[in-house]
Amino acid sequence: MFSPDNIFTTTIDKAVRWSRTQSMWPVTFGLACCAIEMMAAGSAKYDLARYGMEVFRASPRQADLMIVAGRVSQKMAPVLRQVYDQMAEPKWVIAMGACSSTGGMFNNYALVQGVDHIVPVDIYVPGCPPGPQSLMHGILTLHEKIMEGEINR
Amino acid sequence: MNEEKDLKDDLDFWATNSEEGGWNISSTDEGSQKMLEEEDEKQIKIQTGSDVVDDYVYSEETTDDERMIVNMGPQHPSTHGVLRLQVELEGEVVRRVKPVIGYLHTGMEKTGEELAYFQGPTNTTRMDYLSPLFNELVFSLTTEKLLDIEVPERAKAIRILMTELNRVSSHLVALATGGMDIGALSMMIFGFRERELILNFFEKTSGLRMNHNYIRPGGVAADLPDNWQKDVKEILKIIPEKLKDYDEMLLDNPIWQGRLKNVGILTTEECFAYGITGPSLRASGFSWDLRKRQPYSGIENYDFEVPLLTDSDVFSRWRIKVLEIYESLKIVEQTMDTIPKGAYRIQDKKVTPPPRQRLDESMEALIHHFKIYTEGFKVPPGKAYVAVESPRGELGCYIVSDGSSKPYRMHIRGPSFCNLQALPVIMADSPIADAVAAIASLDPVIGDVDR
Amino acid sequence: MSFEEINVEINQYFKTVEGFKKDGYEMMIDLTAVDWYRKKEPRFEVIVNLLSVSKNSRLIINVNVPDEDLKIPSICEIYPGANFYEREVFDMFGIEFENHPELTRILMPDDWKGNPLRKDYGSGRIPVQFKNAPKVD
**Phi then psi dihedrals of residue A150, to 5 deg:** -80, 155
* Residue C130 resides in a domain: no
What angle in degrees, to the nearest 10, is found between the helix axes of B228-246 and B185-206? 170
Q: What is the pLDDT of residues B124-162, one digit of tens each?
A: 998 888 889 999 999 999 999 999 998 999 999 999 999
Q: Can you say how many angstroms the Cα of residue B70 is from the centroid of all Cα atoms in its chain?
A: 26
Domain holding C93: CATH number? Answer: 3.30.460.80
B54 pLDDT more than 90: no
Range of the domain at B14: 2-36
Report how far residue B148's alpha carbon sits from residue B401's, in angstroms, rounded to the nearest whole number.
13
Chain B interface, best mutation among A25, A43, A61, A112, by max B CB count within 10 A: A43
* Residue B203 resides in a domain: yes
Report how far residue B234's alpha carbon sits from residue B236's, in angstroms, rounded to the nearest whole number.
5
Report how far residue C102's alpha carbon sits from residue C76's, in angstroms, rounded to the nearest whole number.
10
**How many angstroms away from the CA of A145 is the closest CA of chain B?**
28
**Pick the residue with more confidence: A64 or B23?**
A64
Q: What is the ipTM of this complex?
A: 0.91
**How many angstroms away from the CA of B208 is the closest CA of chain A?**
9
> What pLDDT does C136 receive?
63
Quote helix, strand, coil % in chain B, to nearest 5.
Answer: 50, 10, 40
B240 pLDDT more than 70: yes
* Residue C125 resides in a domain: no
CB-neighbour burial class of residue B204 (10 A; exposed 0-12, middle 13-18, buried 19+) = middle
* Residue B85 resides in a domain: no
Kindly report the average pLDDT of chain B as a whole number. Answer: 82
Q: What is the pLDDT of residues B380-433, one digit of tens each?
A: 999 999 999 999 889 999 999 998 889 999 999 989 888 888 888 888 888 888
Residue B250 shares a structural domain with residue B132:
yes
> What pLDDT does B325 receive?
92
**How many angstroms away from the CA of A87 is the closest CA of chain B?**
14
Burial B282-300 (b: 16+ CB within 10 A, else e): bbbebebbbbeebbbbebe
Residue C46 pairs in a beta bridge with C33, C63
DSSP string over B55-79:
SPPP-SSS-TTTEEEEEE-SS-TTS
Report how far residue B245's alpha carbon sits from residue B233's, in angstroms, rounded to the nearest whole number.
19
| B110/C105 CB distance under 8 A | no
> What pLDDT does B188 receive?
86
Report how far residue A139's alpha carbon sits from residue A146's, in angstroms, rounded to the nearest whole number.
11
Q: How many helices (H) and strands (E) does chain B have?
A: 18, 9
pLDDT more than 70, % of chain B: 85
Average pLDDT over residues B313-329: 90
- Other CB atoms within a 10 A radius of the CB of residue A141 amount to 15
Q: Can you say how many angstroms the Cα of residue C120 is from the centroid of all Cα atoms in its chain?
A: 16
Beta pairing class for B215-216 and B219-220: antiparallel
Q: How distant, in Å, are the alpha carbons of B160, B215, B393, B416 from that of B389?
A: 12, 16, 6, 12
Facing A43 at nearest CB: one of B123, B129, B193: B193
* Residue C73 resides in a domain: yes
Average pLDDT over residues B193-220: 89
Residue B131 shares a structural domain with residue B27:
no
Quick one: which of C75, C59, C74, C48 has its CA closest to C24?
A: C59
DSSP character for C41? S
Beta pairing class for B215-216 and A65-69: unpaired
Report how far residue B410's alpha carbon sits from residue C108's, in angstroms, rounded to the nearest whole number.
19
> What pLDDT does B62 receive?
54
> What pLDDT does B41 receive?
46
Q: Is B404 on the interface with A (CB under 8 A)?
A: no
Quote the number of domains for chain B. Answer: 2
Quote the number of domains for chain C. Answer: 1
- Other CB atoms within a 10 A radius of the CB of residue C34 amount to 22
Chain B interface, best mutation among C1, C5, C27, by max B CB count within 10 A: C27
Task: Give B363's Cβ-side CA count (13 Å radius).
Answer: 0
Residue C51: enclosing H or E segment and its boundaries? strand C44-52
| C108/A75 CB distance under 8 A | yes
Q: Is A103 on the interface with C (CB under 8 A)?
A: yes
Are A140 and A47 in contact by the 8 Å Cβ rule? The answer is no
Burial B252-268 (b: 16+ CB within 10 A, else e): eeeebeebbeebbebbb
> What pLDDT does B47 receive?
42
The count of residues in chain C is 137
Q: How confident is the model at residue B222 (pLDDT cuts 50, 70, 90)?
A: confident
Chain C residues whose CB is inside 8 A of the B293 CB are 1, 53, 56
Residue B288, C-beta contacts closer than 8 angstroms, at least 6 positions apart: B277, B281, B282, C53
Chain B residues whose CB is inside 8 A of the C102 CB are 48-50
Label residue B148 left, alpha or beta by phi (over 0 means left) and psi (-120 to 50 means alpha): left
* Residue C64 resides in a domain: yes
**How many angstroms away from the CA of C17 is the closest CA of chain A?**
33
Domain holding B260: CATH number? Answer: 1.10.645.10
Facing B398 at nearest CB: one of C30, C53, C102: C30
CA closest to A73 among chain C residues: C108
Average pLDDT over residues B93-100: 85
DSSP string over B364-401:
HHHHHHHHHHHT-----SEEEEEEEEETTEEEEEEEEE
Helix ranges restricted to H, chain A: 12-22, 33-42, 77-86, 97-102, 132-148
Facing A74 at nearest CB: one of C109, C122, C123: C109
Average pLDDT over residues C32-49: 89
- Other CB atoms within a 10 A radius of the CB of residue B305 amount to 13
Q: What is the dihedral of CA C13, C16, C18, C19, to 10 degrees?
A: 180
Report how far residue B334's alpha carbon sits from residue B157's, in angstroms, rounded to the nearest whole number.
10
Q: Is A77 on the interface with B (CB under 8 A)?
A: no
Report how far residue B283's alpha carbon sits from residue B260's, in angstroms, rounded to the nearest whole number.
13
* Residue C44 resides in a domain: yes
**How many angstroms away from the CA of B53 is the closest CA of chain A?**
19
Residue B129 shares a structural domain with residue B27:
no
Chain B interface, best mutation among A27, A29, A45, by max B CB count within 10 A: A45
Q: Is A103 on the interface with B (CB under 8 A)?
A: no
> What pLDDT does B34 receive?
42
Q: How distant, in Å, are the alpha carbons of B91, B234, B253, B432 from that of B95?
A: 10, 48, 29, 10
Report how far residue B307's alpha carbon sits from residue B283's, in angstroms, rounded to the nearest whole number.
8
CA closest to C106 among chain A residues: A75
Q: What is the pLDDT of residues A88-105, one digit of tens each?
A: 888 899 999 898 888 888
Q: Is B245 on the interface with A (CB under 8 A)?
A: no
* Residue C110 resides in a domain: no
Q: How distant, in Å, are the alpha carbons of A71, B70, B385, C45, C124 from that of A108?
A: 12, 33, 26, 24, 5
Average pLDDT over residues C61-71: 89
Residue B339 shares a structural domain with residue B230:
yes
Residue C65 pairs in a beta bridge with C44
> What pLDDT does B201 receive?
92
**Phi then psi dihedrals of residue B238, to 5 deg:** -80, -45
Q: pTM here?
A: 0.86
Chain C residues whose CB is inside 8 A of the B273 CB are 79-81
> What pLDDT does B298 receive?
86
Quick one: which of A128, A138, A136 has its CA closest to A32?
A: A128
* Residue C54 resides in a domain: yes
Chain B residues whose CB is inside 8 A of the A70 CB are 104
Q: How confident is the model at residue B64 (pLDDT cuts 50, 70, 90)?
A: low
- For C123, the 3-state DSSP assignment is coil
**How many angstroms away from the CA of C10 is the closest CA of chain A?**
32
Range of the domain at C84: 2-98
Chain A residues whose CB is inside 8 A of the B77 CB are 28, 56, 58
Average pLDDT over residues B58-76: 68
Report how far residue A153's alpha carbon sits from residue A87's, in angstroms, rounded to the nearest whole number.
15
CA closest to A29 among chain B residues: B75
A109 pLDDT more than 60: yes
